[in-house]
Amino acid sequence: MDTREGSVRFPRVIIIGGGFGGIELAKKLRNKEVDIWMFDKHNYHTFQPLLYQVATGGLEADSIAYPLRKIFKGQSNLIFRNAEVTKINPDNNTIETSIGNFSYDYLVIATGSTSNFFGSKELEHFAMPMKTVPESLNLRSLILQNLEQALTEPDPVRKAALLNFVVTGGGPTGVELAGALGELKRHVLKKDYPELNIDDMQIYLVEGSPVVLGPMSKQAQKSAKDFLEELGVTVLTDIKVSSYDGNTLVLSNGQAIVTKTVLWSAGVMGDVPKGIKQELITRGTRIKVDEFNRVDGYNNLFAIGDVASMSTKDYPNGHPGVAPVAMQQGRHLAKSIIRLINKEELIPFVYKDKGSMATVGRNRAVVDLGKIRFQGIFAWFVWMFVHLMSLVGFRNRIVVLVNWVWNYFSYDRGIRLIIRPFNRQTMTPDPTKEATGGSLNKPPSGG
């Protein structure tokens, strides 16, 4: 049943996706005369900027995730359904989901982005993405499993492959992930694995453009590269990945790196649901929208955040795929929907860029706030404060803060757990194994 029995018939707004944009939109429609339905295949919101810390053992997964139902607790005009939207039908105002079909008056696509392997099935199979909580946990398990296996690997070539880690993509995610691995190597792993010569662990960052952190200032780009190299990361710029077969990564300059771990952050694309016409899909697999976030050709179909491409004078290729864009578009669209219902004139969306930042490990960060640019320890504290306050939920903020303080003073990362062992052959979690290596079908020994 897709209506609430006995409720007054208000215009129905369906939101697909509980990310930054979808949440802001729903919150701003609170207490408005609209009937909101939100669909997401997960029952939680993920704070994606900190996924790399889950992958490298700095934070628990549940400290950066928050139940969507709890976010909207007490919001009487919203219903959440944990379901996957399989197709949208904009010509008859319906969506198809894993729990049935639903009609709408206004539909908002806020599905975010997914990893872009640029058509390479080989890279898609063997490289490790990091866009979701399960993917970050898979990555953590693989990193730790490789180190454990390296302890007993007699063959020097295979051992080198287990100890070589390659991060692709020099954007904020790639830079932060490579920096976190450098911190692990310097402060943690040499204590955890005294039998290993930790200097044999090599970390590479591969970026296709001439600089890392391309959208940021030249000062930030240079400082980030210097910080990475201080942490022992080999930074390879103006070089692209040609192929990867699970054992050898081949680069566009002909260099080959034997490695069992390629961490993919080289590209993203919009997560577009089925039902959107191909002519509406533009660069980066994003949906073309006008200045009101309205999908071209429709009056009641909208897209916001990473999945939307709004071409403006300042952003001819669409806005950057960052959380502030999605949040601002979500808030603005809430006002636009109310204006549409009241038959008022719409106001174009204008993005207010509040700056960019990235961290490269302990006491190392870069911040660009308009013409104000700074790097180092103060930038690191600013980065921590902004990310801490951006987390959803007071508990999550406290848990993350406690972890950060502990990590800072102890030089440790306490969540180095192989919870769900990763199968390198299938590149999926191994359901037949527990963290101890035993079979799930066998009871543990002892009482």
Beta strands 308-310 and 286-289 are parallel
Catalytic residues: 176
Cβ 291 vs Cβ 308: under 8 Å? no
Q: What are the structure tokens assigned to 186, written together? A: 């310097």
Strand runs labelled E in 209-259: 233-237, 241-244, 248-251, 256-258
Q: Collapsing DSSP states into helix, strand and coil, what is residue 291?
A: coil
Residue 264: φ, ψ to 5°: -95, 115
Q: State the helix-helix crossing angle for 323-341 and 20-28, rounded to 10 degrees.
A: 30
Name the amino acid, one letter, at 205. Answer: L
Q: Which of 223, 137, 167 is nearest to 418 (CA)?
A: 137
Q: DSSP code of 33?
A: S
Name the amino acid, one letter, at 421. Answer: P
* Sheet order of strands, 164-168 included: 233-237, 202-207, 164-168, 261-264
